[in-house]
Structure 1
Amino acid sequence: MRKLTSKFPYSNVLVLGLARSGTAASLVLLQNDKKVRINDMSANEYDENVQTLKSMGAEVIVGSHPLSVLDDIEIVVKNPGISYDNSILVEAKNRSIPIITEVEIAGQLAGDSIIGITGSNGKTTTTTLTTEMLLASNSKVKVAGNIGTVASQVAQELEDKEKLVLELSSFQLLGIESFKPKVAVLLNIYEAHIDYHKTFANYKEAKFNIFSNQTFDDYLVYNSDDHEVVEAVKRAASRLVPFSVTNRLLDGAWADEKSIYFKDEKIIDRSEIVLVGDHNLENILAALSAAKLSGATNAGIRSVLTSFSSVKHRLQFVETINNRLFYNDSKATNILATQKALSSFTQPTILLAGGLDRGNEFEDLLPYLKNVKAMVLFGQTAEKLKKLAEEADIQEVKIAANVEDAVVKAYSLSVTDDVILLSPACASWDQYKTFEERGDMFIQAVHTLM
């Protein structure tokens, strides 16, 4: 089990917010002989996690946020989802107490073992592809972060020479001090999470933290077709490795109409790749770059690309029912993700969309609705999306109570060879706890149709 070193010089730590990340961070800190105080508004003192942490020596304060929880505290480890407007965090800033997320702890534990992947879209697919490519090349590797398992928990368990592939959100990256991946991947930048970050500039800066501490000994894989990304990486101190779906590159990954390449080396013919969608070509180029820089073989990369078809909830093929094809893209929580999903199909498509209203409009979807024959809408944004459908002259539009109801209504509008696509363009939190729960409800509803 790996231990924190003098690079983490704090002895008295406040963990703000339990959930998965707070619980895991607390356990890691306690196992490293830190004095841990935990504060959570919604937890119950009789919760199993609370009792376990208390038995290990943690002080746990639940049900309120008294400012006294900051007394004698040297650093705050916050749950990524907690806004910086939180009264404890505002007071911590006033007291000049550092505020981090648990990925900073993961970075301290994992050292040069980290491959970090971020971007507005494609993170999960790229993270999964990179991991699978390394595994297929007989490398030792674990995966964690925004993709599921808490980063600090997995980092503590890393073996010698084992890689740690991390999917990293802007929420996580905003709370770092010295964290740096050996290989960083910056996929794209698109306006998102403005309700949390307040401005697009703040959101971008959080994302760009993925390379802010890198040196010339590290690598930054970046999308040379994305203007925002190209401008940002000019300030990186690391070695730049671009990828492009439009230009031939001598120093990175690229594609032409027939094949994909890394520098001057052909990797695979595009006809052999199973993963659908033009947008996934970017994810593939990013993943093979990160994997190659981390020791993956061409044979390992090819074996993954000839067998890997999708990540769950990311343009996931679910079922064919009476020659209707059902796809689950519940992870499309913003407009860009839905644009890319719609671009993946030429068949007549019935789009299921809607969810949390973050105040944005949806006019950027308009050019991508050419193959959409009908829309079934749900959640807080249903009426906004209905106006979009009218502007696109889509004749069949139905409002559904939820995703399950939307599946039934979509099927009633469909004919042979139609695609029925859940790609909400919105977060799930108005009706579902997570996009995973929303996607699972879609899958269940499709199977019920059978």
Structure 2
Amino acid sequence: MKELPQLHQKKVLVLGLAKSGYTAARLLHKLGAFVTVNDSKPFEENPEAQDLLNLGVTVICGRHPEDLLDEGFELVIKNPGIPYRNHLIQKALEKGISVWTEIELAYRISEAPFIGITGSNGKTTTTTLLFHMLNQDDKSPLIAGNIGTVACGVAEKAVSDNVIVTELSSFQLKGTETFRPHIAIITNLYEAHLDYHGSLDDYLESKKKITQNQTEADYFIYNADQQILADHAKTLKAQLVPFTLKGKTDQHISADGEYIYWQGEPLIERKRIMLAGEHNLENILAATAAALIWGGTKETINRVLTSFTGVKHRSQFVDEWQGRRFYNDSKATNALATKSALEAFPGNIILLAGGLEREHSLEEMRPFMDRVKGLVTFGETAQRFSTFAESCNVPTTTAGMMDDAVEKAIALSQPGDIILLSPACASWDQYESFEVRGDAFIAAVQKHTEANE
């Protein structure tokens, strides 16, 4: 781990705990900073705050004092989920105080280089797939970021022989200054998280920050089928590695209906690849290009692509019961992600959808609603999904929690059907996270199948 003398005996505020804030606070304390932590959860319900207090960190819990920033802080590290409209963040920026997410801290202390992966959809699958490719080729990868492992905790232990394969959200990237991945990947860009960013421009600019510090020595892998990314690539210094699904090209990586190609030569037959769906082909091309640039072998890439079946909560196969196959795609938190899931299956889908109301359009799904023979909807958007389904001539029913939704989906189904949880909404109206929602779906499926063996 690199030392940061510029933070030694400097006053740093960590705003918001959870995993990222807790890990950053411990690291900053170790680096010799004078750390204050401010978290909304009451101290008596906050084991992370209690542990930090025992280390000698100043802890303020249960409230956000208006005068907190009058203490002379030189840096704020905020939880990525705290929006920039937060009054303390606004005040810090007005005072000229730098506001980072822990990704910036991770980069500054890391002895290992980074591969950064972002995009509106496909980040986790691409990150996981690339990690497996590099790991099976003995490239000493570590995995971090929005995938669930705090990057600065990983970076603290990394050595120069490692490479940190990092999934990055727009929330995390917005709080970076010097972060520079040796390989940056943007899988795709679509409208998302406008409730956080306030505008599409702010969301897109936050995503593009993954490339802002790259030089001629670095690589940018991007979806050339999207004009917004092709245009962005023209402004960069990095070496450009476009990928396309529109047919074979002689340069870089591409795919047609039969093969994936690397520099115009067949790499693998598509029918041998385990991961289904056109949307996953984007992820496969991006991960494969990064692995090859990092020195991975074609043999290992073939081996991974013929065995990798997906990531939990992302079109994850759960079980088969009486001819019905159950898939958990709880990570689909917008209509575009659900459209991609519907596109991956030929038809006979019983769809479970709904959740937090963010007023996103559902029209992305319409071209594939003819594959849906029944819809079970839930959460705040239940009525809006019902109205949308009716306009698509799809029968619909409304459920409560996931046990009820699964039972109603089974009742609508027949042997040969796909029962797919792909909500097209965030989970926070009913569940703490999309992972909790997906786990509830898995548990409900197992409960039914075990009771009806």
Short-chain TM bin: over 0.9
How far 1:4 moved relative to its partner? 3.0
Structure 2 contact 354–385 (Cα < 8 Å) conserved? yes
Q: 1:14 is matched with which residue?
A: 13
Q: What is the identity, as a one-letter code, of the residue corresponding to 1:37?
A: T
Distance 1:231 1:42 in 2: 44
- CA displacement 1:397-432 (0-9 Å, x = unmatched): 100002221110000011110011100000000000
After superposition, where does 1:247-258 map in structure 2 within 5 Å? 247-258=247-258
- CA displacement 1:313-372 (0-9 Å, x = unmatched): 000011111000111000000111000000011131111000000022312211110111
The SS at the match of 1:215 is coil
Structure 1 contact 324–416 (Cα < 8 Å) conserved? yes
How far 1:46 moved relative to its partner? 6.3
Distance 2:134 2:38 in 1: 39
TM-score by length of 2: 0.96
Structure 2 contact 112–161 (Cα < 8 Å) conserved? no
Q: 1:161 is matched with which residue?
A: 161
Q: 2:299 is matched with which residue?
A: 299
Percent of residue pairs identical: 46
Distance 2:181 2:9 in 1: 22
Q: 1:62 is matched with which residue?
A: 61
Q: 1:413 is matched with which residue?
A: 412
How far 1:290 moved relative to its partner? 1.0
The SS at the match of 1:369 is helix
Q: Does 1:114 align with 2:114?
A: yes
How far 1:54 moved relative to its partner? 1.6
Question: In 2 relative to 1, CA 337–26 (structure 1 residues): closer, same or farther, beyond 3 Å?
Answer: same
After superposition, where does 1:353-432 map in structure 2 within 5 Å? 353-394=353-394, 396-432=395-431
How far 1:232 moved relative to its partner? 1.8
Structure 2 contact 12–33 (Cα < 8 Å) conserved? yes
Structure 2 contact 9–32 (Cα < 8 Å) conserved? no
Q: What is the identity, as a one-letter code, of the residue corresponding to 2:227?
A: H
The SS at the match of 2:347 is coil
Q: What is the identity, as a one-letter code, of the residue corresponding to 1:175?
A: G
Distance 1:197 1:107 in 2: 23
Q: What is the identity, as a one-letter code, of the residue corresponding to 1:346?
A: P
How far 1:303 moved relative to its partner? 1.1
Structure 1 contact 174–209 (Cα < 8 Å) conserved? yes
Structure 1 contact 12–35 (Cα < 8 Å) conserved? yes
How far 1:288 moved relative to its partner? 0.5
Q: What is the identity, as a one-letter code, of the residue corresponding to 2:46?
A: D
Q: Does 1:212 align with 2:233?
A: no
The SS at the match of 2:104 is helix
Q: 1:91 is matched with which residue?
A: 91
After superposition, where does 1:31-46 map in structure 2 within 5 Å? 31-44=30-43
- CA displacement 1:284-306 (0-9 Å, x = unmatched): 00000111111211111111101
Distance 1:42 1:407 in 2: 34
Distance 1:170 1:212 in 2: 14
After superposition, where does 1:142-291 map in structure 2 within 5 Å? 142-291=142-291
Q: What is the identity, as a one-letter code, of the residue corresponding to 2:117?
A: I
Distance 1:343 1:367 in 2: 9
Structure 1 contact 355–426 (Cα < 8 Å) conserved? yes
Distance 2:9 2:433 in 1: 34
Deviates more, 1:282-291 or 1:396-405: 396-405
Q: What is the identity, as a one-letter code, of the residue corresponding to 1:150?
A: V
The SS at the match of 1:67 is coil
Q: 2:445 is matched with which residue?
A: 446
Structure 1 contact 67–91 (Cα < 8 Å) conserved? no
Q: Does 1:29 align with 2:32?
A: no
Distance 1:111 1:193 in 2: 32
Structure 1 contact 180–214 (Cα < 8 Å) conserved? yes
Distance 1:203 1:57 in 2: 37
Unaligned runs of 5+ in 2: none
Structure 1 contact 14–69 (Cα < 8 Å) conserved? no
Distance 1:164 1:56 in 2: 28
Structure 1 contact 316–327 (Cα < 8 Å) conserved? yes
Structure 2 contact 112–158 (Cα < 8 Å) conserved? no
Q: Does 1:50 align with 2:59?
A: no
How far 1:185 moved relative to its partner? 0.3
Deviates more, 1:145-154 or 1:291-300: 291-300
Unaligned runs of 5+ in 1: none
- CA displacement 1:137-168 (0-9 Å, x = unmatched): 11101101000110100011112311100000
The SS at the match of 1:370 is helix
Structure 1 contact 347–417 (Cα < 8 Å) conserved? no
Question: In 2 relative to 1, CA 43–238 (structure 1 residues): closer, same or farther, beyond 3 Å?
Answer: farther
Structure 1 contact 241–252 (Cα < 8 Å) conserved? yes
Q: 2:342 is matched with which residue?
A: 342
Q: What is the identity, as a one-letter code, of the residue corresponding to 2:110?
A: A
Equivalenced residues, count: 448
Distance 2:7 2:258 in 1: 49
Question: In 2 relative to 1, CA 188–8 (structure 1 residues): closer, same or farther, beyond 3 Å?
Answer: farther
Q: 1:132 is matched with which residue?
A: 132
Q: What is the identity, as a one-letter code, of the residue corresponding to 2:400?
A: A
Deviates more, 1:118-127 or 1:231-240: 231-240
Distance 1:324 1:349 in 2: 10
Distance 2:42 2:17 in 1: 8
How far 1:45 moved relative to its partner? 5.0
Distance 2:149 2:247 in 1: 36
The SS at the match of 1:438 is helix
How far 1:8 moved relative to its partner? 6.1
